[in-house]
């Protein structure tokens, strides 16, 4: 079995975590690649589950040690990155890696892994719906919300570089579409 990567990217709030979490429960042999970040955990988030939460200093040190396949300073002093060690362990366990990652990170992974990777862009039905979803998810403050919305415009302009685009209007439909893309890529 050749190990695969499933890259789900989208502007924050479009619903990629919801879709990725659902796919993980479908017994498709997928394992979530837990990124490292230096942002603070949100309520309900647990170290080693959603992210490996580390300090900006430790993050910088690990960049120097070449621990990351890709990394970004998404917002000032808020680093996010994919660890080589994480993906290697997933493959060693005979699983395919699934990523919930921003657009630039997703495209960097696709560039690196080419045909081994399936890159999927998740799109909210409109900018208004995206904002509503971000607000309902909370508890980001207004400044952080505006930063995320600003970044969304930039991210939308890159959607055509992905292998697939899934519009997340009806969640049920988006989940079915995403599952079909995964099954097709695995030739199942
Ligand atoms: P992302 O991971 O892209 O930032 P999330 O998966 O956290 O987005 O979704 C943002 C919010 O929108 C969450 O509160 C989630 O429950 C909600 N949501 C996701 N998909 C839908 C949908 N199709 N319809 C309505 N709400 C949704
Ligand atoms: P959040 O703070 O909402 O969890 O994530 C902020 C953004 O960082 C999201 O778009 C998320 O997908 C992205 N992100 C998460 N992990 C990684 C990663 O490993 N690398 C990169 N480049 N972005 C990531």
Ramachandran region of residue 66, left (φ > 0), alpha (ψ -120 to 50) or beta? left
> Counting runs of H as helices and runs of E as strands, what totals does the chain give?
7, 9
For ligand 2, atom 6: residue with the closest CA: 12
Q: Is 102 in the pocket of ligand 2 (CB under 6 A)?
A: yes
Q: Cα of 67 to ligand 1 centre, how many Å?
A: 30
Nearest atom in ligand 1 to the alpha carbon of residue 14 is 3
pLDDT (tens digit per residue) in 21-63: 999 999 999 999 999 999 999 889 999 999 999 999 999 999 9
The residue among 89, 7, 106, 3 whose CA lies nearest residue 52 is 89
Smallest CA separation from ligand 1 atom 11, residue: 133
Taking phi over 0 as left and psi of -120 to 50 as alpha, with beta for the rest, 58 belongs to alpha
pTM exceeds 0.85: yes
The predicted-structure confidence for 6-27, as pLDDT tens digits, reads as follows 999 999 889 999 999 999 999 9
Query: Do 144 and 77 contact (CB within 8 A), yes or no?
Result: no
What sign results for the dihedral spanned by CA atoms 10, 175, 120, 127? Answer: negative
Q: What is the Å distance from ligand 2's center to 122 Cα?
A: 14
CATH 3.40.50.11390 for domain 5-186, yes or no, is: no
17 lines ligand 1 (CB under 6 A): yes
Q: How much distance in Å is there from the Cα of 18 to the middle of ligand 1? A: 6
């Amino acid at each position: 079995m050749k190990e695969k990567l499933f890259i789900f990217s989208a502007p924050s709030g479009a619903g990629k975590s919801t879709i990725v979490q659902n796919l993980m429960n479908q017994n498709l042999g997928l394992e979530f690649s837990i990124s490292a970040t230096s942002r603070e955990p949100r309520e309900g988030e647990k170290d080693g589950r959603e992210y490996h939460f580390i300090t900006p200093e430790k993050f910088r040190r690990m960049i120097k040690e070449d621990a990351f396949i890709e990394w970004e300073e998404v917002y000032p002093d808020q680093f996010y990155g994919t660890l080589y060690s994480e993906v290697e362990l997933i493959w060693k366990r005979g699983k395919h890696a699934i990523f919930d990652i921003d657009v630039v990170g997703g495209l960097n992974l696709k560039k690196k892994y080419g045909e081994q990777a399936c890159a999927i862009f998740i799109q909210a039905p409109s900018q208004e719906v995206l904002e509503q979803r971000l607000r309902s998810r909370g508890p980001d403050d207004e400044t952080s919300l505006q930063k995320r919305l600003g970044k969304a415009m930039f991210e939308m302009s890159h959607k055509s570089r992905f292998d697939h685009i899934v519009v997340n209007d009806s969640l049920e439909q988006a989940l079915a579409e995403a599952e079909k893309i995964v099954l097709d890529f695995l030739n199942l």
